[in-house]
Amino acid sequence: MKAKKLWCAERVQRLMMSLFLLLILALLAKGYSVAGLALLAFMSIMLFIHFVFDFCPSTVILQKIFGSCYCECKEEDKNNENQL
């Protein structure tokens, strides 16, 4: 079940990806094409690894810090049983 948390691992990871892409765009706009393309290649490789192996190191680390957006909490199970 999806928890309603603002700061959870998956959401923070998506925020980091969007900021990383904005950094790449800024580097490319300023003329630092080698640095921008290197960062873009790094991000593409990491996304391909996530696709193939279903493993993302940033999500694993962020889950330890913020917790997952998808928790299996005992409180939610009790609430669902009470509603039935």
Structural Rg of the chain based on CA atoms? 18
Q: Exposed, middle or buried: residue 9 (CB in 10 Å: 0-12, 13-18, 19+)? A: buried
Distance of alpha carbon 55 from alpha carbon 21, whole angstroms: 20
pLDDT of residue 22: 97
The per-residue pLDDT string of the chain (84 residues; one tens digit each, 9 = 90 and over) reads: 555 678 888 899 999 999 999 999 999 999 999 999 999 999 999 999 999 998 888 889 999 998 888 866 665 555 555 555
Angle of CA points 16, 17, 18, to nearest 5°: 90
pLDDT of residue 16: 94
pLDDT of residue 7: 87
